[in-house]
Amino acid sequence: MVEAAEPSHKCPTMPEVVEELHRMTNIGFPIAAMSLVGYLKNMVLVVCMGRLGSLELAGGALGIGFTNITGYSVLSGLAMGMEPLCSQAFGSQNFSIAFHTLQRTILLLLLTSFPIALLWANLEPLMLLLHQNQDITKIASLYCQFAIPDLLANSLLHPIRADEWRILIRLAFQSCLGVCLEWWWYEYMTILTGYLQKPHIALAASAIVIQTTSLMYTLPAALSASVSTRVGNELGAGQPKKAHLAAVVAVGMALVSSLLGLLLTTLGRGVWGRIFTNDSEVLELTMSVLPIIGLCEIANCPQTTSCGILRGSARPGIGAWINFYSFYMVGTPVAIVLTFVWRLGFKGLCYGLLAAQITCVVSILTVVHKTDWERESLKTKELVGKNNDRMAAFAHADETVKCEEGVAN
C-alpha cells in the first residue's frame, strides 16, 4: 500500500519560503545565464541584419520565425517531456530512470531533426505558395539553410524498454504541443504581417518585437524549468507540502520579474529600438507596439512559470489544451478582426496576442490553484514506483545469482 502523503494545509513559515527561494535561485540562475547567452547570439544576428537594411531585417524576421516554430519549438517541447520523469525519479532517488530518460530524449530529438532540416532547405517554394514577398523570402530561405547545423547541435544541448518509451513519448508529445501551439502563433502573426501594407516595415518591426519577447522570456523560462524540477523532486519524495510551496514561490517570483519586462518596453522602448535599426518608419511602428508587448509580459511570465508547475506534476497536456483555446479560439479571432476589419494593422496583431495571454494566464493559474497536491504525490509514486519495483526485481535476481554461484563454489 502507498503511504499517505503529509498534509499540506499548514501555511509555510518565512524560513521555509526563504529556503525555497534559495533553492529556486540555485536551479534557475544557471538556466537563465545559458538562455541569455543563446539570446545574445540571435540578438547580434538581428542587429547586424538591421544595419544592412529593412529588407534584410524583414527577411531575417521571416527566417527566424520559421526556424523557431518548425524547429526550435519542437525540440524544446519534446525535451520538456523528460522533466517530470527525471525530476520525480531524482526525488525518489531512482537515478537509473533519469539517466535512461536522458539517453532516449537525445535520440528522439536527433531523429526529429532530420525531417525538420529537409523542410528548412525548401523554405522558398513554400513561402512563395503563401504569396509572401519574393525578395524577403529569398533572404529567409538563405537564413534557414545556414541554420540547419545549429538545429542538429540543439538536439544534443536540449536534453530501453517499450513501456518506458511510451511514457516518455506521451509526456514529450504533450509538452511539445503546449510549447509549439504558443510559438506557432508568433509565426502565424509573422505570416499575417506579410499581408499588411508595407510588409517590409511591418516584418522588420516584427523582428524587433520577437527579439524583445525572446529576451523577456529568459527569466520565466528559467523559473519554469526551476519550478518543474522542484515540484517533481518534492512529489517524487512524497512531500506535497513542499511541492505546493515551490509552486507559490515561483509564481510570486514570476509576477515580480514580469514588471522588468514592462519597464523595458515602456521607459526603454526608444533606446531599445535604436539598437536594432535606424529606419524611422520601423522605429515608429516598433515604439508604438512595445507597450502592448509589455502588458503581454505581465501575463506571459506567470503563465510560462505555471506551465513548469504542470510539467513537474506530469500534467503537460492541460497546459497544451489551455494554449490551444487561448491562442487559437480567442487570440486569433481578435487579431484578425482588429487587424483586417478594424484596420489597426500590426497593432491589431499585438492586441490579439494580449487577449490570448490574458485568457491563458487566468486559465492556468486557476488550474494550479485548484491542484490537489496530496493526490499528485500519490500519482507520482505510481508513475515512478513501477520502475522502482522493476529495478528492485532485477537487483534481487542479480543477488540470487551471486548467492547461487557462491554456494556452488
What percent of the chain lies above the pLDDT cut of 90? 39
Closest CA to 349 of 335, 359, 365: 335
Cα R_g (the chain), whole angstroms: 23
Tell me the C-alpha distance between 338 and 325, whole Å: 19
Task: Give residue for cell 509549439.
Answer: 180
Pair 322, 331: CB distance under 8 Å: no
Query: In this predicted model, which residue has the larger pLDDT, 402 or 209?
Result: 209
**pLDDT, greater one: 188 or 246:** 246
Which amino acid, 256?
V
**Residue of 230, 310, 304, 244 whose CA lies nearest to 26:** 230
Q: Is 259 in contact with 246 (CB distance < 8 Å)?
A: no
Query: How many Å apart are CA 233 and CA 387, to the nearest integer?
Result: 16
Q: What is the arithmetic mean of pLDDT over 84-97?
A: 73
Distance of CA 401 to the CA centre of its chain: 47
Query: When comparing pLDDT for 387 and 396, which is higher?
Result: 387
Q: How many CA atoms lie within 13 A of 351 on its CB side?
A: 16
Backbone angles phi, psi at 309, to 5 degrees: -65, -40
Question: pLDDT tens digits, residue range 20-39?
Answer: 989 888 888 888 888 888 88
The ranges assigned to domains in the chain are: 14-403
- How far the first Cα of the chain sits from its last, in Å, is 40
Indicate if the pLDDT at residue 184 is higher than 60. Answer: yes
Per-residue pLDDT tens digits for 335-377:
999 999 999 999 999 999 999 999 999 999 999 999 999 999 8
Integer Cα distance of 278 and 53 in angstroms: 9
Kindly tell me if the per-residue pLDDT of 393 is higher than 70.
Answer: no
pLDDT at 385: 61
